[in-house]
Amino acid sequence: MTQHLAAPAAAPTTGTHTGWWRDAVIYQVYPRSFADSNGDGMGDLEGVRSRLPYLKELGVDAVWLSPFYASPQADAGYDVADYRAIDPMFGTLHDADALIREAHGLGLRIIVDLVPNHCSDQHDWFKQALREGPGSRLRERFHFRAGKGETGELPPNDWESIFGGPAWTRVEDGEWYLHLFAPEQPDFNWEHPAVQDEFRSILRFWLDLGADGFRVDVAHGLVKAPGLPDLGARDQLKLLGNDVMPFFDQDGVHEIYRSWRRILDEYEGDRVLVAEAWTPTVERTARYVRPDEMHQAFNFQYLGTHWDGAELREVIDTSLAAMRPVGAPTTWVLSNHDVTRHATRFANPAGLGTQLREQGDRELGLRRARAATMLMLALPGSAYVYQGEELGLPDVTDLPDEVRQDPSFFRAAGQDGFRDGCRVPIPWSGTEAPYGFGPVAGGPSWLPQPASWAGLSVEAQSGDPDSTLELYRSALRLRRDHPDLGAGEEVEWLAAPEGVLAFRRGSFVCAANTTGEPVPFTAPGTRLLASAPVEDGVLPADGTVWWAV
């Protein structure tokens, strides 16, 4: 049942300026794994609210909250049953209101996750569509079709679910419905005006409550090609993000976001739209952030880049060039709730990419992760930080099968199914699990935390000048205070040895050594910060250094 509140929360006023999002550092909170206020082992909104001062001290500008809506939790809340209600596991709408108000009081902005491509099969619309049967008007709000074959026993087309298997499920009356993800997540038909009207109303509901913007899940997936044509490819998953597909990155999505932008522009405080858009090229990503559409789009090309100087320079140049014509800021991100944490991703000496699951060399992974973070924070534009990366957390690679909850883990031929490894609750304090995640010593956490995390907690790292947490705090403070960091469109590349990225931005210089050996490098000015111990005239192996010149 939808919960209601009367009064909206006020957006931050201190330091507000047009285009705050152009240089913002945005911290992703995965609510179930951030902080548990009531000891049930599941993070919640009150837990997030209690930790807002930590995020303020860390130095971020905004908090992006992964879904907390009413949901059966078939896909960790990305199967929404009611977009205007809070799932009881996370609290109430009053808790959301209090969180937004307190964040604004601290000068932090709140971005909420919006899931418009699909809903839960427990959403009232879908349940009614099932009851009303073939030919009903409610079914037109989804993609119901007759099957192929003599008796309709075959799916309507050859599309595959991102989680593996057919993207179609047959219901008792013989029709099939489309779900690009789990069967519990039926896709909306965005050609239907009722769907468009409903989401415009949902936008206003959260904007009225005080939300500062929306991260739009599967922003590239809302519109499907007319007629839902067969793809005709044997391995469709390899095409994801590499080619335009009949169910992804269709041109029709852009008119939807133009209509949304008009709504956001009615509100004060620079409300923002952020696209999760997996596209074949950064040039196609740039189409989502034209002046009358969204404000930002995740730079997945950068996230997928190896720890390699030449590869990084190419994607940095390409990203900046793609965003320049549309006047949008480039975004940079290294980790999120769907990919291997970069401290693990970079742990293999060969520099394997996002799907690395081996333990690798943890010390090497952390060293590279620290260097990669400093490189990212020095680049022009906006940066995203995933909860726990400031602690240097690795993926938990040895979770037993019986505790896993990632739906793709239970389906063959889909994603690798190991996203739980980057979703383990983060450690705050103490020497044994749950490390302050919940209020009870030795209490539960929805995924088990490793014994090795005692030394990685916020408490253990605070005040240690060599810790990853203090490196993040220092880097974010310098980024905020230095006049030549943050927003911008250009870097001035400097001559550097092979494997080294060196660039200047006004009176600031950054150099990142992606090789495993120290490299001679003449200091261009006064050293501000380094990701690893530095000797004069040398860049440390797998290290990044900042200077003021």
Q: Residue 247: which of 265, 231, 226, 224 has the closest Cα?
A: 224
* pLDDT tens-digit series, residues 239-262: 676 777 899 999 999 999 999 999
Angle between helices 362-378 and 468-481 (to 10 degrees): 10
The mean pLDDT value of the chain amounts to 92
What is the pLDDT at residue 349?
62
Between CA 236 and CA 158 the distance in angstroms is 10
* pLDDT tens-digit series, residues 318-372: 999 999 999 999 999 999 998 999 999 998 765 544 444 444 588 999 999 999 9
Whether the full predicted model's pTM is greater than 0.95, yes or no, is no
Confidence of residue 411 (pLDDT cuts 50, 70, 90): low
* pLDDT tens-digit series, residues 483-516: 999 999 999 999 999 999 999 999 999 999 999 9
Burial 531-545 (b: 16+ CB within 10 A, else e): bbebeeebbbbbbbb
Between CA 23 and CA 40 the distance in angstroms is 37
Strands 109-114 and 213-216, by their bridges, are parallel
Phi (first) and psi of residue 114, to 5 degrees:
-120, 135
Between CA 1 and CA 491 the distance in angstroms is 51
Between CA 510 and CA 496 the distance in angstroms is 11
- Please, what is the Cα angle at 374 between 422 and 494, to 5 degrees? 140
The answer to whether 24 and 61 are in contact (CB under 8 A) is yes
What is the pLDDT at residue 358?
44
Q: Output 352 or 396, whichever has higher pLDDT.
A: 396
Residue 302 one-letter amino acid: Y
Strands 272-275 and 296-297, by their bridges, are parallel
* pLDDT tens-digit series, residues 112-122: 999 999 999 99
Q: State what percent of residues in the chain have pLDDT above 70.
A: 91
Between CA 282 and CA 329 the distance in angstroms is 12
Reply yes or no on whether the pLDDT at 228 is more than 60: yes
Handedness of CA 216, 277, 163, 383 (dihedral sign): negative
Separation of first and last alpha carbons in the chain: 59
* pLDDT tens-digit series, residues 62-90: 999 999 999 999 999 999 999 999 999 99
Confidence of residue 456 (pLDDT cuts 50, 70, 90): very high
Handedness of CA 63, 85, 448, 51 (dihedral sign): positive
Please state the rounded mean pLDDT for residues 165-174: 96
Residue whose tokens read 């595959």: 160
The answer to whether 182 and 407 are in contact (CB under 8 A) is yes
Q: Of the ranges 15-19, 199-203, 527-531, which one carries the lowest mean pLDDT score?
A: 15-19
The catalytic residue among 44, 276, 293, 395 is 276
Active site residue 276: yes
Q: Of the ranges 298-307, 323-332, 386-395, which one carries the lowest mean pLDDT score?
A: 298-307
Q: Cα dihedral angle (433, 435, 436, 442), rounded to 10 degrees? A: 20
Length, in residues, of the chain = 549
Active site residue 416: no
* pLDDT tens-digit series, residues 146-166: 999 999 999 999 999 988 889
Angle between helices 93-105 and 193-209 (to 10 degrees): 50
Confidence of residue 403 (pLDDT cuts 50, 70, 90): confident
Between CA 31 and CA 104 the distance in angstroms is 18
What is the pLDDT at residue 37?
98
CB-based contacts of 369, cutoff 8 Å, min separation 6 = 334, 341, 342, 343, 346, 389, 392, 468
The catalytic residue among 75, 217, 389, 390 is 217
Phi (first) and psi of residue 29, to 5 degrees:
-105, 125
The answer to whether 247 and 162 are in contact (CB under 8 A) is no
Residue 61 one-letter amino acid: D
DSSP 371: H
Q: Residue 68: which of 81, 49, 87 has the closest Cα?
A: 87
The answer to whether 145 and 176 are in contact (CB under 8 A) is yes
What is the pLDDT at residue 398?
84
How many C-beta atoms surround the C-beta of residue 24 within 10 A? 23
